[in-house]
A and B are shown apart, each in its own frame.
Chain A
C-alpha cells in the first residue's frame, strides 16, 4: 500500500478569518440584537425591586444560600422547580420553532458565542483597522507597532471579558454589595474564581477560538440539521442567476454573463470564513452579513438585490423553472411551525396560569407512621403529623390550624398553646401536630378516617388544605 496523498489528510490548520466591515439591514439588526442582549446581561442585576424589609431588593437574583429565585414580582422556591422545567421545555420548543422556520437564526443573531465574537471583532477593527489592515498586520514581522496594537486589543478584550465574568456573579448575590466587596478584596473566593474562569473563557472563545467553537465544539448545529426541511430558510446563492461569474464588463453578444462579478465581498465579510457561493455549508451560521455585502455591490452595478439571500431548499427548482422569488413569510407560516407555536403557547399559558393561581401560603403534611397511632392513658388515640407551613409573604404571618368540622378529631401543636403558629417572613416552619380521637369515639375505633387539615393566614384570610388519614385502633 502506498502512503496517503497529501489531500487525504484529515487535519487542517485554521485559516485566520478577517471579516470586513459591512453595512446593511442584517448588520443593523445584529447591532440592535447585540445592544439588547448585552444590555440585559450586563445591567439586569442592577435593577432594584422593593419586596419589603425582610427580602432582597434585587429584581433578578438567584439566592443559592437561601434557595430562592427572585424575578421581579415572582419568587420561586425549590419545590416549585417545575416552573424552571417548564421554561426549559418552552426554550426547547422555541428552538424547534425557530430552527424549522428560520434555520440557524439562533446561531446567527442571538447565540452568546456569536454576540461576543461580534463584539470582539468590533474591538479588533477599532484597534487594528479593517480587513486589509488586519491581514497586513498579521503578515508583518513583530515590531513596536504590532506589539502596541496587539496589547491594546488584548487589553480591551480582557476588560470586556472581566465585565462578562463580573456580571455573572452579580446575579447570585446583592450586586452593589458584591461590587464593593470585589473591589476591596472582601468577596468570597468563589466569586473571584467564577469571575476568573468566565473571564478566561470569554477571552478565549470570543477572541481566539471564535468560529472554531461553532464548527468543532458546539453540538447544536448537528442537532439543528435534524429539524430543518426544504422550507427552512438558509442563506443561499442564486447560482442560476449569478453564474457564470466574471469581471463586470460590457455585454457582448453571444457571451453569457451572470450577475456575480466575483468581487469576493461575500467571502470577505464572512465571520466563518466560507464562500457561500459553494452552496449550503456546515459552517454557515446564517448571520446574513454576506447578503448585506452582496446587496451593496448589486446596488452599485445596477442589478436587483438578492443574488445572495435567505432561501429555502425548495426555492431552487422553482426559481430555475422561472418562478418569481417567494416571499419569506410563505416559508415561515406553515403547518409545522404553527404546530410548534401552538405547543409553545400551551406550555407558556400553562405556566402563566400556574403562576397566577399559585398561593402565597402552602402546607404539606407528613403523617408519622412510626408508630401508626399512640394510645394515651385514658384510651385516647393520637396520631402525629409533621406539618410544613410555608409563608411566602415578605412579612411574618400568624397561621391558624384547624381540622374539617365533620370529624370528632381534635388538634394540638407541640410546644404551642392553642393552634396558632407564627411563621417568619419568606420561610418554612416545621411543626409537630397531634390529632386525637377521644376514647371509644368512631375515629379511635376505626382503622382509617379521612380528614382535612386547614390552615388560614389570619391577616390575609388565605387558606390552604391537605387531605390526610387518621389511623385508629381497630377493634373487632
Chain B
C-alpha cells in the first residue's frame, strides 16, 4: 500500500493558515466504496421500510413492517399463550380456586394487573383505600369478603344505574339536616364513637343513645352491627331476591371507618348523608371499558388474598 504515495509531489488544497498548508490526499478507495455502498443501502432501506414522511403518515415500505404491528404481534403472542388459562379462569368456580395452585397464581398475577389499571384510582395502589373508598386490606367488608362475594361486587358495583343487581339498591345514608338538631347530631355522633369503643364525651353519648335507636338502628342495628352483617345470597337463593334490604349500612361497633371516626366527620356524615358508588365493572354493563368475566374473577382473586379475604 505504501506504493501509492511514493516520491511524487502531493498537491495541496491551496489553503494556507500561518504558513500551514493542507495536503489534498484522495480518500482511501475502500472508504469511498463503503460510502457508496451505504448510499445504495440507504435507498433500498427507504423503499423496503417506512421512511418518507407525508402529511398524514409516512410511506409504508414494501415489506409492510411497522413497529405498532410488531407490538400487536407480541401482545397477541402473549394472549395466545395465556388463552388456555384465561378460559379456565373464566368458568372456574371461584370457591374452589384455591384448590388449583397454578390457576390461582395466574389469577392473582393477572388480577394485580387489572387492579393497577382499573381500581387504584379510588382504592389506592396499595389497596388501602381513601376517605369514602373502602380499605381492601382489612377484615371489615360491607358487601362480603369471600371471593365470590368480591367478584359479585366487582361485577355489579354499588348503587349504580348500570346493573340491576347492583349492591346497595336498598338505599343510601340519608341526610338528617332538619330532622335532628345540631345538638342531637353531636350527641348521636358521640354515641357512635362510644359504640366503636373510642374516647368520647360520655354525657353527650348517653344523650345520643335514644336518638340512635330511633333514627339509626333500623339500618345500622341496635348495637351498631350494620345491616350487612352477612349478605349470604350465595348460600340462600331467597336472600338474593331480597337484596333490596341490603342498604350497605356499615358496621359501627368496630375500629374501621369508611369516612372517618372523629366527631367532626361523624357529624358531617349524619348532617349530609352518604351514598358511596362503585361502577359495575363487567363488560356487559359498560361495553367500552368493562372487564371480561376472567378479569373480574382475577381481580377478585387478587383482592381476596390481600390479607382481609374470608
Contact = CB atoms under 8 A, between A and B. Distances in A.
Interface in A434-453: 434, 439
A316 B80 CA distance: 77
Contact of B256 (A371, A377, A415, A434): A377
Contact of A376 (B1, B9, B256): B256
Interface in B90-148: 124-126, 128, 135, 137-140
Given A374-B307, A384-B307, A414-B307, A379 B255 contact: yes
A71 B251 CA distance: 61
Contacts of B214: none
A434 B309 CA distance: 13
B137 A439 contact: no
Contact of A368 (B8, B126, B254): B126
A375 interface: yes
Nearest to B137: A374
Interface in B1-57: 1-2, 5-10, 12, 21
Nearest to A381: B255
A294 B12 CA distance: 51
Contacts of A3: 7-10
A11 B25 CA distance: 15
Secondary structure class of chain A's binding surface, majority of residues: loop
A13 interface: yes
> For chain B, which range describes its interface: under 10, 10 to 19, 20 to 34, or 35 or more residues?
20 to 34
A279 to B, nearest CB: 26
Contact of B126 (A371, A382, A414): A371
Interface in A369-409: 370-371, 374-379, 382, 384
> For chain A, which range describes its interface: under 10, 10 to 19, 20 to 34, or 35 or more residues?
20 to 34
A412 to B, nearest CB: 9
B138 A414 contact: no
B137 A371 contact: yes
B294 to A, nearest CB: 22
A3 B307 CA distance: 86
B305 interface: yes
Contact of A378 (B125, B135, B255): B255
Contact of A377 (B12, B126, B139): B139
B197 interface: yes
Contacts of A439: 255
Nearest to A380: B255
A375 B138 contact: yes
Contacts of B12: 1
A165 to B, nearest CB: 29
Interface of B: 1-2, 5-10, 12, 21, 124-126, 128, 135, 137-140, 197, 251, 254-256, 305, 307
9 contacts: A1-B12, A6-B6, A9-B2, A376-B255, A376-B256, A377-B255, A379-B197, A382-B138, A384-B137
Interface of A: 1-3, 6, 9, 11-13, 368, 370-371, 374-379, 382, 384, 414-415, 432, 434, 439
